[in-house]
Amino acid sequence: MSSRRRKSRPRAPPDNLKRVSARSASQARVGLCRFCLRDDVALTQEHVFARWLVAKLRAWRATHAAHGPADVAADARIARLVTNVCGACNAGWMSGLEVSFRQAVFARSRPEHIAEPTRRTLSRWFAKTATLVAHATGQELVAEDHWPELTDAMPGGIRVGLARLRRPRQPLDVGLEYEAEASHPTPKLTSVAVQVDDLVAIVTRRSSVTPATTLWPIRSHVLRWTTLPVVNRLSDLTGS
């Protein structure tokens, strides 16, 4: 007996695949890159904390307590903080800064003194990260017209302090500090603390970084990894 074979119909993609594809397409848009100031370039959502860092510290589930406007995504996982940048910046100066930061912080054997080139690397990385943390939560730490300075230098009016954290509760964390001003109806963001392992930096517009030691502006005093001040929590730096 002969049997007829039914013609196979192409299967529709699963619903979840449709959602992923639609989401990926919606992540890319054309606009102005705030760092290189190129207009009409493709902007994609990039992670504020690079995947290599999240993976190295096993910080996939680490969460932040930084609050922004109601329309900010409810997912508080640090690994999912994203911002829009162009591909040239992401693969160019940002990638180079990540490499320099990794070598400075995670080198198997590092010099006792924190030399001036390392201070510049740490200051730029923490300032860049704090700027993007603030932006990802709907806040502003560094005015957007000063973002281009971060591509090869430090923005004016920003100070960076460095300390160590005693018994970190998680390997990555961020904290925000606000200050009430008569000219603003809502408190204004003044500082962002960024923790990487037991290292924590305060990036601020305040005149002091106490109790951290000043990393930027660079001063003549000798800075050592082993003698950095120790704090118990991020709020010791942000005052919140």
Please report the pLDDT score of residue 240 as a whole number.
66
**E strands, the chain, where?**
29-31, 41-47, 82-86, 159-165, 172-179, 188-196, 199-204, 213-216, 230-231
In angstroms, the CA 234 to CA 240 distance is 9
The reported pTM is: 0.84
Please report the pLDDT score of residue 166 as a whole number.
95
Please report the pLDDT score of residue 16 as a whole number.
34
Please report the pLDDT score of residue 20 as a whole number.
33
Helix and strand element counts for the chain (H, E): 6, 9
pLDDT < 50 regions, the chain: 1-26, 69-74
Cα–Cα–Cα angle for 139, 95, 120, nearest 5°?
Answer: 75
Please report the pLDDT score of residue 2 as a whole number.
41
Please report the pLDDT score of residue 14 as a whole number.
37
Amino acid at 225: W
In angstroms, the CA 196 to CA 178 distance is 22
Q: In the chain, helix, strand, coil percent, each to 5?
A: 30, 25, 45
Cα–Cα–Cα angle for 7, 11, 14, nearest 5°?
Answer: 165
Amino acid at 39: D
In angstroms, the CA 123 to CA 128 distance is 8
In angstroms, the CA 127 to CA 150 distance is 8
Please report the pLDDT score of residue 28 as a whole number.
63
Closest CA to 115 of 220, 190, 9: 220
How many residues are present in the chain? Answer: 240
In angstroms, the CA 76 to CA 65 distance is 7
